[in-house]
Amino acid sequence: MKKKIRKISVPGDKSITHRAIIIGSLARGKTRIINPLVCDDTMSTVSAMRSLGITVLKEEKSLTVLGHGINGLKKPSYIIDCGNSATTMRLLMGILSGQEFDSYLTGDESLMKRPMDRVIIPLSQMGALITREGNAYHISGRKLHSINYTMPVSSAQVKSAIMLADLFAERNSVINDPGKSRNHTELMLDYFGKTLKGKKIIIPGDISSAAYHIAETLISPGAEIIIKNVGINETRTGFIDVIRSMGAQVQIKNKKSFANEPVADIHVRNSALYGTSIKNPVIPRVIDEIPLLAVLAAFAEGKTEIRDSSELRLKESDRINSVIQGLKSIGVNVSERADGMDITGTMPEDMQAAEIDSYADHRIAMSFLILTHIIPGLKVKNKECVAVSYPTFFKDFHI
Ligand code: S3P
């Protein structure tokens, strides 16, 4: 008899949800966002747009944004709090730079330590005036002009901030990306068209969330799942390429498209994994999944090297350090590099339970929480931070 394979779905994509809310707010008319990710980060974007005078209605499985067109934002009456979300802060800096009013952005302790010069420098070249004042950034709206800019690091947030600012300039900017950073802003601006008219958007499942299910399946004896309707934009599928190079049995099926974004089902089976080398050019396409790959590498035969990843030190925590501390505490042999690490595969029976520090970083917490059923007694400190990007994580993983 044919075995019935477990089918699951994951919440909507975080990057695409942010962009749908923001671009929907700049469009004229109603934008319906179906299957949005409702999490701490995207709710920071919702409340930011509300404080700029946009109505955002939250329904059971959708959001409705009532945009007033490109010049429809209002001066906020208080400081906008971006919480933990760098995407909210950086993309908003782009938009607010071109307004006729002043505004202030702040965020939590981790966000206020993240590098903002990477957006402030190109936006300043466009004519923006952004200054740090205590625990907030003051954005003094200005008339902007287009630029030709080469990003020193490949970053979708920087690229998007410039593209959004350019909507208030001559719409003529040229951005050179040293890597292949995610292109959701480009695809969504195309989808809304030159005149930015409100649209219906279905958000694909988040491949970064799907990655935790894929990883758990790969290392759980006999496991097999199909994850339905996951976004497979090639600027995001570095994780699939890397795990295939480690020996993962993974198939992409039923390809389709939602609002310009490619989508498919991902079928994965428990697989014998082997060490690999993870370095450029793949890094920008797998940047959020590197902590998880480091955990998977601990279950692979032989050595895995991770390089060209110093950007990880500038995320919600220093992810190179966070993941190394976690791996060491469960008994995995790992050595640190300035731009990555080397991990030696370890037999699961040689791993030990520990209380791992997530450093309040959602991706670190989830990367280790998937081991809960494999290493009995394993605990993760500050695990509630999963709500930053995947609020139903514990339910979906039966933890
Ligand atoms: C994101 C871009 C990436 C990624 C982040 C989300 C986005 O950051 O790490 O989680 O939505 O544009 P960078 O632009 O800093 O590479």
Cross-strand pairs, 334: 343
CB 223 within 8 A of CB 217: yes
The residue to mutate among 14, 40, 157, 361, having the most atoms of ligand 1 within 8 angstroms of its beta carbon, is 157
Reduced to 3 states (helix: H, G, I; strand: E, B; else coil), residue 269 is strand
Residues whose CB falls within 8 Å of the CB of residue 57, separated by 6 or more in sequence, listed in order: 63, 64, 66
Q: pLDDT tens digits for 218-264? A: 999 999 999 999 999 999 999 999 999 999 999 999 999 999 999 99
Residue nearest to ligand 1 atom 9, measured at CA: 288
For residues 147 and 130, give the distance between their C-alpha atoms in angstroms, rounded to a whole number.
17
Would the pTM count as exceeding 0.95?
yes
Give the tokens for residue 28: 């004229």
Q: What is the mean pLDDT of residues 14-39?
A: 98
- CB of 182 shorter than 6 A to ligand 1: yes
Taking alpha carbons only, the member of 72, 91, 75 closest to residue 28 is 72
Best residue among 40, 87, 151 to mutate for probing ligand 1, ranked by most atoms within 8 Å of CB: 87
User: Is residue 9 within 8 Å of 205, Cβ to Cβ?
Assistant: yes
Average pLDDT of the residues of the chain = 97
**pLDDT exceeds 90 at position 2:** no
71: CB partners within 8 A, 6+ apart: none
The letter for the amino acid at 347 is M
136-140 sheet: strands from edge to edge:
80-81, 102-106, 136-140, 129-133
State whether the beta carbon of 157 lies less than 6 angstroms from ligand 1.
yes
Distance 229 CA to ligand 1 centre (A): 21
Contact between 197 and 29 under an 8 Å Cβ cutoff? The reply is yes
pLDDT, position 3: 76
Q: Could you give the 3-state DSSP secondary structure of residue 289?
A: helix
H-only helix segments in 104-176: 117-125, 156-166
Q: Three-state DSSP class for 34? A: strand
Catalytic residue among 40, 288, 357, 361: 288
pLDDT score for 15: 98
User: Per-residue pLDDT tens for 36-93?
Assistant: 999 999 999 999 999 999 999 999 999 999 999 999 999 999 999 999 999 999 999 9
Q: Is 108 a catalytic residue?
A: no
Task: Give percent of the chain with pLDDT exceeding 90.
Answer: 98
Instruction: For residue range 90-144, list pLDDT tens digits in order.
Output: 999 999 999 999 999 999 999 999 999 999 999 999 999 999 999 999 999 999 9
SS3 of residue 230 by DSSP? strand
For residue 213, what are the β-bridge partners?
A: none
170 CB-side CA count, 13 A: 9
pLDDT score recorded for residue 1: 61
Atom of ligand 1 nearest to the CA of 160: 12
pLDDT of residue 376: 93
Q: For residue 202, is pLDDT > 90? A: yes
Task: Give the residue from 82, 90, 89 showing the smallest Cα distance to 158.
Answer: 90
Pairing label, strands 333-337, 148-150: unpaired
Atom of ligand 1 nearest to the CA of 181: 16
